[in-house]
Structure formats: structure tokens, C-alpha cells
């Protein structure tokens, strides 16, 4: 096949050029993919910083209502790629555990952690306020308001337990990861 030294040198240089072009092309591709991943990661971190700050403040102050407001939930629903998340931590003042879940299908942020005797405590408070309602006549509006708030807390507790029971296990494997990952429409 190679009859002269001229052909041998030409083919050797041709193979060398092909290897260089192939190697440099692969290196350029890997650098561009890495750069794209980093810029995408940076974009998502920056776009979620408002959400993270809101949850950080809510966890710090043990404020569940702040993250369950309709405007905040609507903001989360508008984010098409945000399907589910879990926010948890320890509160600053009481060092109690705080945990909420968001599910896009439910369009709801709900409390997912309650103390063991939460429902019993609510029932006791309701009974206490009802006895005060029968005794005192001057603060009826305030006491009735507090009773209604306790009924709301009890209903939210029951609704959260229903959400937890109904949730199909599709996202539970993701709850144990603290890393950021990309799906790229199921291609990566």
C-alpha cells in the first residue's frame, strides 16, 4: 500500500492531524459542556436565591404562614421546572424542627412536621378557650377569634396529614439528596 517514503510520511501526518483535530474537538466539547453546566447552575442558583432567602427567614422565625401565602405559592407554581421541594431546618429562638414540602400538582406548600402531641395541644387549647368564653363576657370577640385560629390550625394539621398520606412516592428518593442536579428533559 505504501510504496514510497513520501506516501508513508503523508499518511503519518494525516493520521496525526486527524488525532489532533479529534482530541482538540473533544476537549472543546467537554469545556463547552462544563461551561454550559456551570452557567446553568449559576442561573438556577441566582433565580432561586429569592426562594431560599424567603425560606431561610421562615425557618429562622418558625413562620409557616409566610411561605403558605397565596402570592408566594403562585410564584412557585409559575416556575415551570420546579416540581417539588423540601425545606427544613432548626429555628433560631426555640431550636425546634421546621419542615415544609411543596408539590406543584397540589399547588400547595404544606407543613410536613408536627410535634408528637400537636393535635392534643390544640384540642386542650380549644377546650380552655371555650371555658373562658362561657365565663368572661368582655372579650368574647378575641376569644372567639383565637378559637377560630385553633380550628384552622387543627384543620391544617389534618389536611397536611392527608397530603402526606396521599403523596405517591415519586419524589421521596429525591428527598435524601442535598445536591443540585439537572435533567435536561430526561437526556442527562
The tens digit of pLDDT for each residue in 146-170 reads 888 989 988 888 888 888 776 656 5
pLDDT category of residue 32 using cuts at 50, 70 and 90: very high
SS3 of residue 21 by DSSP: helix
How many beta carbons lie within 10 A of that of residue 143, not counting itself?
Answer: 19
SS3 of residue 111 by DSSP: strand
| Interval 116-127: pLDDT, tens | 888 889 899 888
Out of 34-43, 75-84, 95-104, the most confident range is 34-43
Q: Which residues pair with 88 in a beta bridge?
A: 99
CB 100, CB 84: distance < 8 Å: no
Q: Which alpha helices (DSSP H) does the chain contain, by range?
A: 5-47, 49-61, 70-78, 118-135, 140-166
DSSP category for residue 65: G
pLDDT category of residue 186 using cuts at 50, 70 and 90: very low
SS3 of residue 81 by DSSP: coil
Cell of residue 62, nine digits = 418558625
* 151 contacts: CB under 8 Å, gap ≥ 6: 126
Distance CA 141, CA 145 (A): 6
Amino acid at each position: 500500500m505504501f510504496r514510497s517514503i513520501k506516501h508513508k510520511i503523508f499518511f503519518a501526518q494525516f493520521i496525526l492531524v486527524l488525532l489532533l483535530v479529534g482530541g482538540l474537538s473533544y476537549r472543546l466539547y467537554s469545556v463547552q459542556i462544563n461551561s454550559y453546566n456551570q452557567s446553568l447552575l449559576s442561573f438556577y442558583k441566582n433565580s432561586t436565591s429569592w426562594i431560599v432567602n424567603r425560606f431561610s427567614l421562615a425557618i429562622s422565625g418558625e413562620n409557616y404562614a409566610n411561605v403558605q401565602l397565596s402570592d408566594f405559592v403562585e410564584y412557585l407554581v409559575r416556575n415551570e421546572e420546579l416540581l417539588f421541594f423540601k425545606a427544613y431546618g432548626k429555628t433560631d429562638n426555640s431550636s425546634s424542627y421546621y419542615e415544609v414540602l411543596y408539590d406543584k400538582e397540589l399547588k400547595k406548600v404544606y407543613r410536613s412536621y408536627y410535634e408528637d402531641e400537636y393535635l392534643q395541644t390544640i384540642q386542650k387549647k380549644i377546650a380552655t378557650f371555650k371555658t373562658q368564653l362561657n365565663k368572661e363576657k368582655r372579650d368574647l370577640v378575641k376569644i372567639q377569634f383565637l378559637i377560630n385560629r385553633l380550628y384552622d390550625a387543627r384543620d391544617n394539621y389534618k389536611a397536611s396529614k392527608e397530603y402526606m398520606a396521599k403523596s405517591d412516592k415519586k419524589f421521596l428518593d429525591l428527598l435524601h439528596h442535598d445536591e443540585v442536579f439537572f435533567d435536561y428533559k430526561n437526556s442527562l
